[in-house]
Amino acid sequence: MKESNEFIDLLPPDLIKFVLVVLFSLLIGLEQRRQFLDSNIGSRFGTDRAFTLIGILGFILYSLSPATLIPFLGGGFVLSIFLAIFYFIRGFHQKKFSLTSIIVALITFCLTPIIYTQPDWLVILIVVSVLILVEIKEALFDFSKKIDDNEFITLAEFLVIAGVILPLLPNESFSENITISPYKFWLAIVAVSGISYFSYLLKKFVFPKSGIVLTGILGGLYSSTVTTFILAKKSKELEEDYKITAAIILATTMMFIRIFILALLFNKPIAMQLAPSFGFFVVVTTLFALYFLWLDQKKTNKTETKQEISSMSNPLEFKTSLVFGILFIVFALLTSFVNKQYGTSGIKILSFVVGITDIDPFIINIFQSKWSITNGILTTAVINAVTSNNLLKMIYSITLSKKTIRKPILFSFSILIIIGLVVAFLF
């Protein structure tokens, strides 16, 4: 290895860069040739040899005057004229217009100054990006078919709330009663929306026809309560009792994971205290789900269900954010009042009550609290909230589902609730 490094050091730097230009240009040209192997397009300005020569031309012109770049810029201008002429002539005769090969040729021409002036990792990243983007033309075309008119608006909304509004907000508390600053309030919205949006994108674009189990997993990352509600209602229409039961349990598994991620973002000490109990919850719920899936596999003469279950809406809708914001402020005021009037016992009781609502606003308030309460008490409040939320989901499942899945649901959630009560008592 040492001898090879010494040999490379003996080579002229310009020779190494010339070899890189030729190699990268040839790779791009070979990719272009592969694109035209099964194509009926007649004339094209070239593939592997032409692209390699374009790269060499760029190297020659850059080497003539790397300080002023006059030969390089002049050659690039002439090359652009020739490529433009070719583009319009081909478009006129074949009635097909495509700028991809033209742009790739110009990028190939620019490889030399990039190799000379930019770090190696950036050069490789540019070449790899060109190769991948050219190769995935059909995949991008199929992907674009899945995007409706509102998707870019949704993406723009997320970029605005995360990259524009958030940095502009002050990081000072609202008041003595609301100890959370506007910045941390909005950060909570960004964090919850970000996790939900990620799950939403996975469901819509990566797993658009996800089965029952995957619906439970992705839906649980979005909202385990909503997912449980919908799956329980769907159970009356589908003959997939054990799968639906497993999906409902897995939605709760993802709830524990989502809350732990939020704890890591907002309060690492509490996250570390939650880690053992939440890890245990995840293991228990996963084992329950695997058991029900095993029972499903044992069933004979079962038919595979292909029906798609839609359990997710756009997480960045104004109404959704508004409800979260209102609940966040309400819980901030209510928690502060309960803490002042009733102390830690009041916080524990309140944590059970909030389980019947969206628990994320309350939990994030707990994570960002500045009260003189120990992390142990706050951790207990979080566990109480998820336990009462599990009770709510059990009630939803039993009352809305078909009779055949009520017993396994009752058994599974009862175990989770008992474990939650025991863990809260130990804290």
Instruction: Say yes or no: 201 and 296 in one domain.
Output: yes
Domain end call among 142, 172, 198: 142
Instruction: Say yes or no: 312 and 356 in one domain.
Output: yes
Domain of residue 204 covers 151-426
Residue 150 has pLDDT above 80, yes or no: no
Least confident of 161-175, 194-208, 318-332: 318-332
Residue 162 has pLDDT above 90, yes or no: no
Instruction: Say yes or no: 69 and 126 in one domain.
Output: yes
Residue 307 has pLDDT above 60, yes or no: no
Domain end call among 142, 174, 205: 142
Q: State residue 149's pLDDT score.
A: 65
Instruction: Say yes or no: 124 and 226 in one domain.
Output: no
Domain end call among 142, 165, 182: 142
Helix (H) or strand (E) run with residue 320 in it = helix 318-353
Domain count, the chain: 2
Assigned token pair, 317: 């809708």
Q: State residue 297's pLDDT score.
A: 81
Instruction: Say yes or no: 186 and 81 in one domain.
Output: no
Report phi then psi at 368, rounded to 5: -100, 5
Instruction: Say yes or no: 120 and 250 in one domain.
Output: no
- For residue 254, how many other CB atoms are within 10 A of its CB? 23
Quickly state the pLDDT bin for 43 (edges 50, 70, 90): very low
Instruction: Say yes or no: 171 and 73 in one domain.
Output: no
- Over the stretch 243-282, which tens digit does the pLDDT of each residue have? 888 888 998 999 899 889 888 888 888 889 899 999 999 9
Mean pLDDT over each residue of the chain, to the nearest integer: 79
Residue 87 has pLDDT above 80, yes or no: no
Q: State residue 226's pLDDT score.
A: 80
Q: Which residues of 128-162 are buried (b: 16+ CB within 10 A; e: fewer)?
A: eebbeebeeeeeeeeeeeeeeeeeeebeebeeebb
Let me know: does 276 contact 333? Beta carbons within 8 Å. no
Quickly state the pLDDT bin for 178 (edges 50, 70, 90): low
Instruction: Say yes or no: 28 and 122 in one domain.
Output: yes
Let me know: does 382 contact 366? Beta carbons within 8 Å. yes
Quickly state the pLDDT bin for 401 (edges 50, 70, 90): confident
The set of residues, in sequence order, having a beta carbon less than 8 Å from that of 392 and lying 6+ positions away, is 225, 355, 356
Instruction: Say yes or no: 132 and 156 in one domain.
Output: no
Please state the rounded mean pLDDT for residues 338-347.
74
Residue 227 has pLDDT above 70, yes or no: yes
Closest to 256 in 3D by CA, of 350, 389, 397, 366: 389
The full DSSP string for 33-96 is HHHTTT------S-SHHHHHHHHHHHHHHHHH-TTT-HHHHHHHHHHHHHHHHHHHHHHHHH--
The full DSSP string for 138-165 is HHHHHHHHH--TTHHHHHHHHHHIIIII
Cα distances from 1 to residues 17, 20, 90, 200, 243, in angstroms, run: 21, 21, 51, 49, 56
Least confident of 36-40, 176-180, 297-301, 339-343: 36-40
Instruction: Say yes or no: 28 and 135 in one domain.
Output: yes
The residue to which tokens 């094209």 are assigned: 44
For residues 310 and 127, which has the higher predicted lDDT (pLDDT)? 127
The residue to which tokens 């038919």 are assigned: 303
- For residue 325, how many other CB atoms are within 10 A of its CB? 15
Please state the rounded mean pLDDT for residues 188-201.
76
Instruction: Say yes or no: 127 and 170 in one domain.
Output: no
Q: State residue 96's pLDDT score.
A: 62
pTM of the model: 0.66
For residues 384 and 319, which has the higher predicted lDDT (pLDDT)? 384
Q: State residue 282's pLDDT score.
A: 93
Instruction: Say yes or no: 246 and 355 in one domain.
Output: yes
For residues 58 and 6, which has the higher predicted lDDT (pLDDT)? 58
